[in-house]
A and B are shown apart, each in its own frame.
Chain A
Amino acid sequence: MGSREQESRVQSPESRVKTQNSEPRTPDFFGQAVATRDAYGATLVELGKKNERIVVLDADLSGSTKTGKFAKIFPERFFNIGISEQDMVGTAGGLSLTGKIPFASTFAIFETGRAWEQIRQTICYSYLNVKLAATHSGITVGEDGASHQAVEDIALMRVVPNMTIIVPSDGFETKQVIEAVVDYEGPVYVRLGRAKVPAVMPADYRFRIGKAYVFNIGNDVNIIAAGIMVSAALEARDILSKEGIDTGVINMSTIKPLDTDTLLAVAEKSKLIVTAEEHSIIGGLGSAVSEFVSENHPVHVKRIGIKDIFGCSGSPKELLKLYGLTAEDIVKTVHEWKGK
């Protein structure tokens, strides 16, 4: 989306390992391990300075969703609606009808679950220019437990016509996603996380809505991942490649509309596709990929995700292990498929 200042800096995807956790902070979050919610909050402030049409709404969680930063600098363009997500979504819809670009934030489960029908009826049916940027998606919410861990949000949003769904993988991508959705006219759901995530996207990466990023295509296995699972997929690829299994990784950050051109090209090369997401295996990325390949280029698909159960309390790291969302789990899945 337009020319950007760091265009000149080009690095290979592999350089991400070296730049991990590097200081000082770069304004675009490249190479930094940050929570996507932090990148979101900072980007909102930056965009708010340039674009007066941007307004932000929250439902009493602005400290956690990081919209509080925008609120401090632009109090007249920030609306705390209190603990009433349905009203927040409707109010955002109204603001969009006066030409504003509203970002409405709360935790993913309350945004997509509590306010689902408002999103369907008011926002998507009317095709309103509202950006639903929800944080605390998936089980890496951690200690708060299942009530606060959205593992169904992508499924809930995916069934609604007119909705665009984006799941950024790291801070660098998040910043670009937020910039892109400002320029896009229509409803968008951006899925953000609470926990710090490793940087995965290369310096020359430029996000485009509906365009997957291909790290590489493997001739045996391709892992199609989104969000925090992209880093696990890259780790798994390194392990599998050493074993002689030619493995590729694709970051499918836009889940709707799905990048079917890339998906078809990947399917044609694959003996196995593994999908990896921090979401239920029902209705999310795994379902979207399965639906497309089964209709257009049937290939064996294995889904890594939450297996139709609720989350629980624990540290993010422990939970990822418990629910089978690590690189080792991806490797194990490929091994099981090979062993057949």
Chain B
Amino acid sequence: MTTLINSRDIDFLKEQARNVRVEILKMLTESGSGHTGGSLSAADIVTALYFYKMRHRPLEPKWKERDRFILSKGHAAPLLYAALALAGYFDKSLLSSLRKIGSPLQGHPSSKLLQGVEVSTGSLGQGLSVANGIALGLRLDRTPARVFCLLGDGEIQEGQVWEAAMTAAHYMLDNLCAIIDINGLQIDGRCSDIMKIEPIAAKWIAFGWHIFEIDGHNMEAIVNALDDAEKIKRKPSVILAKTIKGKGVSFFEDKVEYHGIVPTKEELELALKELGENGK
């Protein structure tokens, strides 16, 4: 089994991120429901993980030494599905079955139904605990693999996230890297209006984590942070990635209402045009 050839070429990664966004938009329009904004905001981060940082084997999804990715913000399922399909875990044609009866592409990811999904998520706040457990298990086995966990900024309102934050620091899980997709919005409005989560950086520092603060759409910054996190020893790392919800499609960007609304056919056409998908 060959390892996926991952690349640090920034232009290649940017192009993959564009492809990921195109697939997200297409599948959401096709399904008629799903979470657009939060899938697009984290598209660059997840692209950098699957096409650069993570050691994984799409044709051998249970490879013991693989790096693990936990999508704690499970509603960004379309993003995970697009990344998995483009990486070669399953055929791209499956993406059009999103949320349809009988499809392995559930509204929120199900690990029992889809290869490449490590654990089922969707109820917020639970992924980081699972990531901790994996990190502990890998360390017990002296497996050099790393664990990545993507959380939303609204999600960190869940108390369990902070229980897990304590645990990761207590057990000095330096094989764990959390990434917070800080797009500033949640279903009911701006995070700052619904339930203030700032100061985010100070909170993670106080909980004993090493933090990286980056622009979550700057591919070079993402790649550098992922590399640097690997060098931090005896404590877990968190990448605080400032993002724009709906990023990549001008009329979705920073719009609360596009948390759980999908593009119409007309909007899809305009969106694909903006992403340079003319005539494809």
A147 to B57, CA, bound (A): 49
User: Does A125 contact B134, Cβ atoms closer than 8 Å?
Assistant: no
Q: Mark B115-131, 1 if CB is under 8 A from A, else 0.
A: 00011111100111111
Q: Which of B68, B120, B140 contacts A122 (CB 8 A)?
A: B120
Nearest CB on B from A106, distance (A): 13
A161 to B112, CA, bound (A): 13
In the complex, which range does the number of interface residues on chain A fall in? 20 to 34
A227 to B131, CA, bound (A): 35
User: Does B160 contact A86, Cβ atoms closer than 8 Å?
Assistant: yes
Q: Which of B127, B137, B143 contacts A100 (CB 8 A)?
A: B137
Nearest CB on B from A110, distance (A): 13
Q: Mark B141-172, 1 if CB is under 8 A from A, else 0.
A: 10100000000000000011001101100110
Q: Which of A84, A91, A99, A128 contacts B136 (CB 8 A)?
A: A91
User: Does B129 contact A98, Cβ atoms closer than 8 Å?
Assistant: no
User: Does B137 contact A89, Cβ atoms closer than 8 Å?
Assistant: no
Nearest CB on A from B273, distance (A): 39
User: Does A87 contact B140, Cβ atoms closer than 8 Å?
Assistant: no
CB of A94 closer than 8 Å to a CB of B: yes
Count of residues in B whose CB is under 8 Å from the partner chain: 34
User: Does B120 contact A91, Cβ atoms closer than 8 Å?
Assistant: no
Give the residue name and chain of the B residue nearest to A87 (CB): B163
Give the residue name and chain of the B residue nearest to A81 (CB): B167
Nearest CB on A from B259, distance (A): 20
Give the residue name and chain of the B residue nearest to A104 (CB): B133
User: Does A122 contact B126, Cβ atoms closer than 8 Å?
Assistant: yes
Residues of A within 8 A of B159 (CB): 86
User: Does B123 contact A84, Cβ atoms closer than 8 Å?
Assistant: no
Nearest CB on A from B250, distance (A): 36
CB of B79 closer than 8 Å to a CB of A: no
A100 to B130, CA, bound (A): 13
User: Does A87 contact B136, Cβ atoms closer than 8 Å?
Assistant: no
User: Does B111 contact A126, Cβ atoms closer than 8 Å?
Assistant: yes
A116 to B126, CA, bound (A): 12
Q: Using known A-B contacts A97-B133, A121-B123, A126-B120, determine if residue A90 contacts B138 with beta carbons closer than 8 Å.
A: no
User: Does B167 contact A82, Cβ atoms closer than 8 Å?
Assistant: yes
Residues of A within 8 A of B143 (CB): 98
User: Does A98 contact B138, Cβ atoms closer than 8 Å?
Assistant: yes
CB of A196 closer than 8 Å to a CB of B: no
CB of A92 closer than 8 Å to a CB of B: yes
CB of B36 closer than 8 Å to a CB of A: no
Residues of B within 8 A of A87 (CB): 129, 132, 160, 163-164, 166-167
Q: Tell me the chain B residues, 156-193 only, with Cβ under 8 Å from chain A.
A: 159-160, 163-164, 166-167, 170-171
A108 to B130, CA, bound (A): 21
The 26 sampled A-B contact pairs (Cβ below 8 Å) are A81-B163, A82-B167, A84-B160, A84-B163, A84-B167, A86-B159, A87-B129, A87-B132, A87-B167, A90-B126, A90-B164, A94-B119, A94-B133, A95-B136, A97-B134, A98-B137, A98-B138, A98-B140, A100-B137, A118-B126, A121-B120, A122-B121, A122-B129, A122-B130, A126-B119, A127-B112
10 shortest A-B CB distances, which residue pairs? A94-B133, A90-B129, A98-B137, A87-B163, A84-B163, A91-B133, A94-B130, A94-B134, A95-B133, A126-B120
**Given A95-B137, A98-B143, A118-B129, 19 new contacts (CB under 8 A):** A77-B140, A81-B167, A82-B170, A84-B167, A86-B126, A89-B129, A90-B160, A90-B164, A98-B137, A98-B138, A98-B140, A99-B141, A102-B133, A122-B119, A122-B121, A122-B126, A122-B129, A126-B111, A126-B120
Binding site for A on B (CB under 8 A): 68, 110-112, 118-123, 126-138, 140-141, 143, 159-160, 163-164, 166-167, 170-171
